[in-house]
Amino acid sequence: MQILPNDYFVLGAITLLFTSGCTTTYAPPIRMPQYGSPGRVDQGRMEVGGGVGGLSGPTVWGGPSIGYGVRDWLAIEAGGDFYSVGKPGGWAMGFGGMRLTYAPKRHRKIYSALDGEFGLGAGVGGMMCGGQGYVTDGEGEFEGQKVCREGPTPVNPAAFGAYTGIGYGLHLSFFSLFARSRVQTSIADRIPGTLWGNFNLGMQFRIAKHVDIYGGGGIVGLINRYSDGYGWTWDAGLVVHFEPGKNRKGVQRRGPGAARRGKLYVQR
């Protein structure tokens, strides 16, 4: 039996909140990798890619994502986030949401962009008492305190939650600088609700007008009834942009009633 202390972790430390400590408790996050710089997707365009991030060593999370620009200011998104799936403390989460963007000068070489993201997620994962027990009220010298006891612990518990965040990007021709912050809350079967938060700074580069590569670093933290901690993180991702269903420029096609009128339409 051990008292539940505060758990702190630092990049490069041997004992990390996610990988050690018999008292660590958390419901899984919904979406850990950052999005990159705001203002990437225009109306009618789609992006497909993915991102990864982590603390150090084996602590790496991430997954694929897809987004579609319904309007210049509105995009819908979906994807997944994974970490040590099937192991204590790991997770497998799917998410879906929207992104609202304000970038009135997005077609200039130099412009600023702001966005806000909102979404929900569900899946499995999390950790209770470091995966080695359960929480109960202490007795004797531990009376009035929460303690971990050895015993059954949730295995792949069902989890769900929500996330929201904001971002700012300064686009300078083929690259941009950005700052992002995200808050997410989640709950899992027999695991208390957990609040996650992070702040990241990074850079993004556009290649051949259709590929964006980004990376950066920042800080991430969590808090719930039994554990809290923070640590430095890194983050990286790649996305490819395209217009779904668009024919090649200049390809002739017949429009409605073209045969009747003897006309051809040219797709631009």
Nearest-angstrom CA–CA distance, 105 and 117 = 20
Question: Is the Cβ–Cβ distance between 40 and 144 less than 8 Å?
Answer: no
User: For residue 2, is pLDDT > 70?
Assistant: no
Q: How confident is the model at residue 152 (pLDDT cuts 50, 70, 90)?
A: low
Whether 119 has a pLDDT exceeding 90, the answer reads yes
Which domains are delineated in the chain?
Answer: 2-266 (2.40.128)
* pLDDT at position 267 over 90: no
Looking at every residue in the chain, the average pLDDT score rounds to 82
pLDDT given for residue 6 in this prediction: 40
CB-neighbour burial class of residue 147 (10 A; exposed 0-12, middle 13-18, buried 19+): buried
Q: Which regions of 15-142 does DSSP assign to beta strands (E)?
A: 46-54, 60-71, 74-83, 91-102, 110-125, 133-137
Span 58-112, pLDDT tens digits: 678 999 999 999 999 999 999 999 998 878 789 999 999 999 999 998 888 899 9
- Helix, strand and coil in the chain, % to nearest 5: 5, 55, 40
pLDDT tens readout for residues 243-264: 987 654 444 444 444 444 444 4
Residue 261 has phi, psi (to 5 degrees) of -100, -10
pLDDT tens string 43-67:
999 999 999 999 865 678 999 999 9
pLDDT at 17 over 70: no
User: Quick check: 32 pLDDT over 90?
Assistant: yes
Prediction pTM value: 0.80
Q: Does residue 121 contact residue 162 with C-beta atoms inside 8 Å? A: yes
